[in-house]
Structure 1
C-alpha cells in the first residue's frame, strides 16, 4: 500500500501538471496502416477524435493514434489547461535523458562563458603590460647606446 508521502507527492504532481489525461476518446476515422517514415520509431498517424467533457459538451480535434485502429476505437489523449489537445508528457526515462542533455548543454555554455571571459581579461592585461613595457623601453633604450668601455 502506498505511503501518505507517496500519495501527497502523486497528488502534487497531478495538480501541478498542466496536462490532463482523458481516456475513452473515440476515433471518428480509421487510422490507415502504412510503412513508417524513415527516421521514425512508431507507426502513429494523425486522425480525428471526439470526446465529451464533464459538463456534457462534445468536442472534436486531431491527434496522433496508433496505425491500424478502426473508427469507434477508444484512445487516450492529453489536453492542456485551455482544453486543447496536446502531446503526452515525457515518461520518466525520456525526462531524465532530456534533463541530462539540457544540463550538459548548460554546463558547456557556462564553461564557454568563463573561458571567453578569461581570454578577454588576459588580452586586456597583456595589452596593458606591452604598453608599460613600451613606455619603460622608451626611457631605458636611449641609454643603451653603442658605448663600450
Structure 2
C-alpha cells in the first residue's frame, strides 16, 4: 500500500511518520535546495573570477619580443596544457628603450622567432591573464561541487534520521513484544 505512513493505522508508529516527513524534506532539498546552493556558489565564483581576471589584465601587459636564447633544457607546463621553455627575449618599447628578460615561450620556438611575452608592472615574467573560458570553467566547477556537496550533506542527514528512526522502531517493537509475548507463549513474566 502506497502512502501507508501518511494514513492512520494501528500499525503506524511515530518513527514511521517521522521517516515519511524526512523523505519529503529530503526530496525538496535535493530537487530545490541543492540547485540553489550550486547557483549561489557559481554566481559568487563567477564574480570573484571576473574580478581576478580584470586585476590581472590591469597589471599585466603583453609585448612582442624576439627570442635571443634559451635557458632551460626541460619543459614546464603552461596554461592550456602546453609545454613551455624559459628563454631570453628582447624587445623595444615605443619610446625606443630596449629590454632583455627571461620568460616562458612555447616549446617549438626557435631562436629569432617573435613571441608574445607577458610581464607585470615590476617587469617580472608572468603567465597571461585569465581568459573568459577559464572564468566559466571555474564557475561551473564550483557550482557543480557546491550542488554535489549539498546533496551529500542532505543524504548524510537523511541516513542519520533513518538510523535513529530504526533504533526507535526496534525499541517500540521490543516493548510491544514484551507486553504481548506472555499471552502468545503462555509464559509468565
Same fold (TM over 0.5): yes
Structure 1 counterpart of 2:129: 89
SS across alignment from 1:64: strand
- Does structure 1 residue 48 correspond to structure 2 residue 87? yes
Structure 2 counterpart of 1:68: 109
Unaligned runs of 5+ in 1: 1-11, 32-39
Q: Contact 2:69/2:89 (CA < 8 Å) preserved in 1?
A: no
Unaligned runs of 5+ in 2: 1-49, 72-79, 92-96
Match of 2:55 among 10, 17, 35: 17
- Does structure 1 residue 77 correspond to structure 2 residue 118? yes
Q: Contact 2:70/2:88 (CA < 8 Å) preserved in 1?
A: no
Output the CA distance in 2 between the equivalents of 1:84 and 1:96: 27
- Which structure 2 residues correspond to residues 1-149 of structure 1 after superposition, within 5 A? 17-18=55-56, 20-25=60-65, 27-29=67-69, 42=82, 44-49=83-88, 60-65=101-106, 67-71=108-112, 73=114, 75-79=116-120, 84-146=124-186
In the superposition, the TM-score normalised over structure 1's length comes to: 0.57
> Paired residues, what number?
123
Report the Cα offset of residue 51 of structure 1.
Answer: 7.3
Report the Cα offset of residue 130 of structure 1.
Answer: 0.7
Output the CA distance in 1 between the equivalents of 2:161 and 2:55: 45
Specify which structure has the bigger relative contact order, considering alpha-carbon pairs within 8 angstroms and separated by 6 or more residues.
2
Structure 1 counterpart of 2:77: none
